[in-house]
A and B are shown apart, each in its own frame.
Chain A
Amino acid sequence: MMQERRSFPLGTLILTAVAVLGLGVIMYRYLNGLGAITDLSDGRAWGLWISFDLYCGVALAAGGFTLAGAVYIFGRRTYYPIVRSAILTAFLGYTLVILALLVDLGQPWYIWHALIYWNPHSPLFEVAMCVMTYTIVLALEFSPAVFERLNWRVPLAAIRAIQIPLVIAGIVLSTLHQSSLGSMLLMMPETLDPLWYTPILPLLFLFSAIAVGPAMVIFESTLSSRAFGHRLGADILAGLGRAIPYILGIYLVFKLGDLVVSKELGLIVSDSPHTILWWVEVLGGVVLPIIFLSRASVRQSKTKLFWCAVLVAGGLVLNRFNVSWLALGGREGYFYFPHWMEFAASAGLVAWAIIIVMLANRLLPIIHHEEVAEKVPGEPIDTTQLAARGGQVFEGS
């Protein structure tokens, strides 16, 4: 095993190639303008980058605030061993969002204008402010891992002292901008399909983000435990899986309830191609995960749990693509399909994030795996171990 990982595996080689290609494409864009590497036009001003990197990126990084909240605010110490990796992936996710925006913006060198020219009426202004502030909060939340590695005691103590306010700030900022991404689309009542357009879109965005948070943690923890050989207690991920149906249930009630109240329920059986997208999104990404994850047998199986998490994340991705692209009408006479360089730039940024996660897992104390013994499902939780962990969680607070 060890021998294999030391060599330069094919996966890493492909990852590096994708990362380098992405970088090349991005350089090309800065030299030749957006028109040179995108299929965007006046008829479709936002494309793959906004749908995938911004809309999906922010939502899929929701694992950071949901898990930090569960551990530090609600005292669910079971999840302590994975909170750090969740915060790291969230931090990288947001960094990715900002980098992608620097590619997508027409005038990226003026991004700081958002700091000095304020339009507080704009939902995008709120998103910009929150994403920026939250990225700093995430960096601070993750910084103890770096300080521990470097053995810097003073900054470590300082961060520990403000840990709880930081976590609360993270939750507040996430609540605001996850929902504001929905508010942004409220500006388009004439172009967004009424199946998705609703005044409560911000609320739906928030609920779906909270639901996908734990799903992404399951997804990433499963993958990284396989890649880096960390051992995670089965009860940890199963517990996250247990929470998902409740949140998705609330989301579904609001989503359907809104259609009933606005008397638009008939739209879900209309013969528009959008209807198919809606059904795939709701059945595959919401209803099926609720059914599956309500069964203990599914939650106890790592593989089944993983695939349920994939369903939830996939449903969210489709939802964000629908509202920001597929079900959003463009101008007459234009057609958009992403240029291959748009895909390359997005894939390149994701590849960079994976490379950094891999490096961080080798260099930094991300997971305290010596603390986490593999547990037999159903076995009562070892309270002494919990107390020891809990002491560490609330140390200095």
Chain B
Amino acid sequence: MAKGVLCDANKCIGCRTCQVACKQWNELPTMEMVKDGVLQERPKDWVNSGTLENPPQLSADTFTKVRFREVEHDGKFHWVFAKIQCMHCEEPACAEACLVGALEKTKDGPVTYDDRKCIGCRYCMMACPFGVPTFEWEKRWPWIRKCTFCADRQGGGLEPACVTTCPTGALKFGEREDLIVEARERIAARPDEYVDYIYGEREVGGTSWLYLSPVPFEKLDFPTLGTEKVTINPERAMSAVPPALVAVAALMAGFYWLTKRRQKLSQASAGDQEEKEEVTK
């Protein structure tokens, strides 16, 4: 059975302790805004939304962050917090894309990354429908970085660091199947507080991380995705490769044989003509 996390935006208070716990466990540096008492110049693409959301984007040093959104829904104002990180897809595009198989969906749930295989092509970053994997652009020896679902902690029987530290129970770790059942129960118990939708249950074939929200997910800037796994068309194309290989090779050999045969015939007929000419002489 695969693990998952249920993230309930109604229970999240936006304290961002999960961000801190993630940095601590993964030994990620903070973004230094003040150096030697001087406020540093902000990165050129630094766009904060004006609330307490910080930093602006996931990056090689930030595997998770809480997204803050001020949303009007059904005539009511909502200040919604949603933790974002790798969704750990059931059918991950990144793993399908990776030519060396550095990314892998494990049977326990996490999509793991092996930097001993990676060559840094960044196809995973392009393929991910959630825009999650990041890259160490400034390093001479750069790797792909993303949330690991604390696979190392899970291996030791622990919950992910963010779940352990969450003070309100907004994050719940467990079997993915059980979490879906619980999510349904929560919606049924308070239908006026939740939209009747579990984000991640079916998106691109399902994800290990599941979300509940008081407002529609597109208002939280969650990508609106189909239920079909995104790898379906490349899979079809790749399965056509072996037959295409054989067919093209056979076809070309056939054409070559025809060409040779036509040449032989035309040479033979030319030879006949010469002979005839000689005879008539």
Q: Is B23 an interface residue (CB 8 A)?
A: no
A191 — which chain B residues lie within 8 A by C-beta?
Answer: 126, 129
Given A34-B142, A35-B138, A124-B123, verify A176-B233 contact (CB < 8 Å).
no
Q: How far is the CB of B213 from chain A (nearest CB, A)?
A: 18
Binds A, one of B29-37, B92-100, B151-159: B92-100
Chain B CB within 10 A, most for which of A40, A118, A172: A172
A107 — which chain B residues lie within 8 A by C-beta?
Answer: 118-120, 141-143
Residues from 52 to 109 in B contacting A, C-beta threshold 8 Å: 56-60, 93, 96-102
Contact of B122 among A45, A189, A334, A390 (CB under 8 A): A45
In the complex the two chains form, is A121's CB within 8 Å of B238's CB?
yes
Binds A, one of B3-11, B176-184, B248-256: B248-256
Residues from 138 to 154 in B contacting A, C-beta threshold 8 Å: 138-144
Map CB proximity to B onto A381-397 as digits: 1 under 8 Å, 0 otherwise: 00000000010001000
Contact of A42 among B134, B141, B253, B255 (CB under 8 A): B134
Assembled-state Cα–Cα distance A346/B112 (Å) = 34
Contact of A187 among B47, B144, B230, B252 (CB under 8 A): B230
Binds B, one of A5-13, A69-77, A234-242: A69-77
Given A105-B119, A121-B96, A333-B45, verify A40-B252 contact (CB < 8 Å).
no
Q: How far is the CB of B146 from chain A (nearest CB, A)?
A: 10
Q: Is B279 an interface residue (CB 8 A)?
A: no
In the complex the two chains form, is A172's CB within 8 Å of B249's CB?
yes
Q: Is A123 an interface residue (CB 8 A)?
A: yes
Binds B, one of A108-116, A134-142, A261-269: A108-116
Q: How far is the CB of A157 from chain B (nearest CB, A)?
A: 20
Assembled-state Cα–Cα distance A331/B131 (Å) = 6
Assembled-state Cα–Cα distance A117/B259 (Å) = 41
Q: How far is the CB of A62 from chain B (nearest CB, A)?
A: 15
Map CB proximity to B onto A322-359 as digits: 1 under 8 Å, 0 otherwise: 00000010011111000000000000000000000000
In the complex the two chains form, is B126's CB within 8 Å of A75's CB?
no
Q: Is B241 an interface residue (CB 8 A)?
A: yes
In the complex the two chains form, is B223's CB within 8 Å of A122's CB?
no
Q: How far is the CB of B279 from chain A (nearest CB, A)?
A: 22
Contact of A190 among B45, B134, B225 (CB under 8 A): B225
Given A75-B259, A106-B121, A190-B223, verify A334-B45 contact (CB < 8 Å).
yes
In the complex the two chains form, is B98's CB within 8 Å of A335's CB?
no
Assembled-state Cα–Cα distance A112/B279 (Å) = 67
Assembled-state Cα–Cα distance A179/B102 (Å) = 24
In the complex the two chains form, is B233's CB within 8 Å of A186's CB?
yes
Assembled-state Cα–Cα distance A89/B98 (Å) = 30
Assembled-state Cα–Cα distance A38/B240 (Å) = 36
B125 — which chain A residues lie within 8 A by C-beta?
Answer: 42, 45
Assembled-state Cα–Cα distance A108/B102 (Å) = 15
Given A75-B262, A186-B237, verify A175-B143 contact (CB < 8 Å).
no
Q: Is A378 an interface residue (CB 8 A)?
A: no
Q: Which residues of A contact B (CB under 8 A)?
A: 30-36, 38, 40-43, 45-46, 69, 72-75, 104-108, 110-111, 113-114, 117-126, 128, 164, 167-168, 171-172, 175-176, 179-180, 182-184, 186-191, 199, 202, 328, 331-335, 390, 394
Could you give 20 example pairs across A and B, Cβ below 8 Å?
A: A34-B142, A35-B137, A41-B45, A42-B57, A72-B256, A107-B141, A111-B119, A119-B98, A119-B99, A121-B235, A121-B238, A122-B99, A123-B238, A124-B99, A172-B249, A183-B237, A187-B231, A199-B237, A202-B237, A394-B260
**Besides the contacts A110-B119, A168-B252, what 19 more A-B pairs have beta carbons closer than 8 Å?**
A35-B138, A42-B57, A45-B126, A72-B256, A106-B122, A106-B136, A107-B119, A107-B142, A110-B118, A117-B100, A120-B238, A124-B99, A168-B256, A176-B248, A183-B237, A187-B233, A188-B126, A190-B223, A331-B131
Query: Which A-B residue pairs are the 4 nearest by beta carbons?
Result: A106-B120, A35-B137, A75-B259, A45-B125
